Amino acid sequence: MCSSFDLPGPWNTAAVLMGNGLTGGGRYVRQRRAALRRKAAGQEVLFYAVVAVLLLVFSWTAVAGSYALRPFTETVIRRNGHG
């Protein structure tokens, strides 16, 4: 699915949708066939929510950091004779 970003036009979208559908479908089937189903406790749900938000903030920070470091990286590449 990740390599589909190189595909032109509608094939890119089709590959991403198909990959997400297969992943979601596989997770659904796995969950339904699980021998044991337990309900998550309130603190556990809160923990997962906090971790998800922290991962999202970290990814935004990484993207923002890459934009901030781009001029520095270009300078280093040009200084080494590759630009």
Q: What is the pLDDT of residue 5?
A: 64
pLDDT band of residue 7 (cuts 50, 70, 90) is confident
| Average confidence (pLDDT) over 11-40 | 87
Residues 51 and 58: their CA atoms lie apart, in Å, by 10
Q: Where are the alpha helices (DSSP H) in the chain?
A: 9-32, 42-79
How buried is 19 (Cβ within 10 angstroms: 0-12 exposed, 13-18 middle, 19+ buried)? middle
Which letter does DSSP use for residue 37 in this model?
Answer: -
